[in-house]
C-alpha cells in the first residue's frame, strides 16, 4: 500500500470547520441517539474527527462487522483501517477512491461556503 496516498487523503481532509459549535453539538447528539434505535442499531454509526483522525463516536455494531470493539476504534483512530480492510482493497481506496472523495469534499465545502455567504455585502 502506498502510504503517501492515504497520508495525502488524511492531510486533505484535515481542515478548519466553518460550522457553529452549538449547531455541531446538537447534530452530534441527534446522530448518536439515532444510531442506537430500531433498525439503525444494526448499522455502523461513527463520527471521525477530521482534524485529529480519531473516532469521536462509534456504536457497538462495529463489532458485528469488523470483530473489533468501539474501544479499538477509539485507540487506533484512522489506523484501524489497516486492521479491517484487506490490504489490496485499502491500496485501491488510497489510490483511487480517496482522491475522488477529497475532490468531492472540496467542491461541496466550496459550494456550501458560497451558499452560506451569498448574501454578504461585497
Domains of the chain by residue range:
3-117
Neighbours of 103 (CB within 10 A): 11
* Average pLDDT for 73-98: 91
What are the C-alpha distances in Å from 113 to residues 10, 12, 19, 48?
21, 17, 10, 21
Cβ 99 vs Cβ 6: under 8 Å: no
Predicted local confidence at residue 71, as pLDDT: 97
Is a pLDDT exceeding 80 seen at residue 90?
Answer: yes
Average pLDDT over residues 24-43: 72
pLDDT of residue 41: 67
- DSSP-derived pairing of the beta strands 54-58 and 46-49: antiparallel
What percent of the chain clears pLDDT 90, i.e. is strictly above it? 24
**Mean pLDDT score of the chain:** 78
pTM confidence score: 0.63
Quick one: pLDDT at residue 48? 86
In this structure, of 41-45, 101-105, 107-111, the range with the lowest mean pLDDT score is 107-111
Query: What does the pLDDT average to over 10-23?
Result: 66
Would you place residue 79 in the very low, low, confident or very high pLDDT band (cuts 50, 70, 90)?
Answer: very high
Higher pLDDT, 47 or 114: 47
Amino acid at each position: 500500500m502506498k502510504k503517501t496516498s492515504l497520508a495525502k487523503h488524511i492531510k486533505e481532509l484535515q481542515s478548519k470547520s466553518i460550522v457553529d459549535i452549538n449547531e455541531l453539538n446538537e447534530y452530534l447528539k441527534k446522530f448518536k441517539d439515532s444510531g442506537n434505535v430500531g433498525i439503525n442499531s444494526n448499522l455502523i454509526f461513527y463520527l471521525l474527527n477530521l482534524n485529529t483522525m480519531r473516532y469521536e463516536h462509534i456504536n457497538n455494531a462495529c463489532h458485528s462487522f469488523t470483530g473489533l470493539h468501539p474501544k479499538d476504534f477509539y485507540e487506533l483512530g484512522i489506523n484501524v483501517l489497516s486492521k479491517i480492510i484487506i490490504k489490496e482493497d485499502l491500496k485501491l481506496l488510497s489510490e483511487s477512491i480517496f482522491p475522488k472523495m477529497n475532490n468531492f469534499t472540496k467542491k461541496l465545502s466550496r459550494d456550501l461556503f458560497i451558499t452560506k455567504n451569498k448574501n454578504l455585502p461585497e
